[in-house]
């Protein structure tokens, strides 16, 4: 299986430089505030949001930041596969914990220095209800004290409420779209859904661009 953490596997590649550019843009989009909690989402499945969120976490770690990536796709999340850690207990289990300050048993250290993961955990029957619980807010406030950046890898927006719920908890939302895959209607639908709840949209990442269309830049998924 191809290593999706390109900043680790191919740190000098053009796609790694692209991820670092995203990191820089997020750092300076609002330099005067404490924008440390970021949601990476998409309009539909298959646009590469988990690839972006995972590599963005690595990018922040490379500038000596302690980074936590939380898999808030409680249905099909695969962050545990990308970082090769256990998914025995994760975010879903944490959300039903009586004491939200007791998060250490859900925290997994990865092979990447300064990057920690809370995987999706057991698939629950009620993901949306769990994400909208008071525990979610309490957990985030506690975690913010221990990490420089927290990145949520969310579900696609269209058709599910989960990421719209998480969008209400974060400082910035990044929408991932895919050339030749996502329709303009699907992208607009996701954008309107975020705007309807006044989500703090930082921007859109265009993924899977044909290398011949972008000059010197290469395509990880080619």
Stretch 174-194: mean pLDDT, rounded?
A: 91
The whole-number pLDDT of residue 215 equals 46
pTM value surpassing 0.85: yes
Q: Is the pLDDT assigned to residue 80 strictly greater than 90? A: yes
Give tens-digit pLDDT for 101-126. 788 889 999 999 999 999 999 999 99
**Burial of residue 61 (number of CB atoms within 10 Å: 0-12, 13-18, 19+):** buried
C-alpha pair distances (Å), 73 with each of 107, 110, 157, 177: 16, 19, 11, 17
CB neighbourhood size of 30 (10 A): 13
Instruction: Report the C-alpha gap between 4 and 220 in whole angstroms.
Output: 9
CA distance 212 to 180: 14
Judged against a pLDDT cut of 70, whether residue 175 lies above it is answered with yes
CATH class, domain 16-208, is alpha beta
Domain extent listing, the chain: 16-208
- Quote the percentage of the chain above a pLDDT of 70: 90
pLDDT average, residue stretch 81-86: 95
């Amino acid at each position: 299986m191809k290593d999706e953490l390109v900043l680790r596997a191919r740190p000098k590649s053009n796609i790694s430089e692209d991820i670092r550019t995203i990191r820089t843009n997020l750092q300076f989009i609002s330099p005067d505030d404490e924008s440390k909690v970021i949601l990476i989402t998409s309009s539909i499945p298959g646009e590469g949001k988990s690839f972006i969120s995972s590599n963005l976490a690595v990018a922040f770690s490379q500038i000596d930041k302690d980074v936590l990536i939380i898999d808030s796709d409680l249905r099909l999340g695969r962050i545990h596969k990308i970082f090769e850690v256990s998914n025995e207990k994760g975010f879903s289990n944490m959300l039903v914990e009586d004491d939200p300050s007791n998060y250490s048993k859900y925290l997994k250290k990865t092979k990447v220095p300064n990057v920690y993961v809370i995987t999706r955990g057991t698939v629950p029957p009620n993901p949306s209800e769990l994400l909208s619980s008071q525990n979610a807010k309490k957990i985030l406030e506690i975690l913010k004290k221990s990490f420089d950046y927290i990145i949520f890898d969310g579900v696609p927006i269209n058709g599910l409420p989960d990421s719209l719920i998480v969008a209400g908890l974060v400082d910035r939302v990044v929408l991932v779209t895919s050339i030749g895959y996502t329709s303009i209607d699907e992208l607009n639908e996701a954008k309107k859904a975020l705007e309807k709840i006044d989500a703090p949209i930082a921007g859109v990442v265009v993924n899977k661009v044909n290398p011949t269309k972008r000059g010197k830049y290469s395509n990880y998924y080619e």
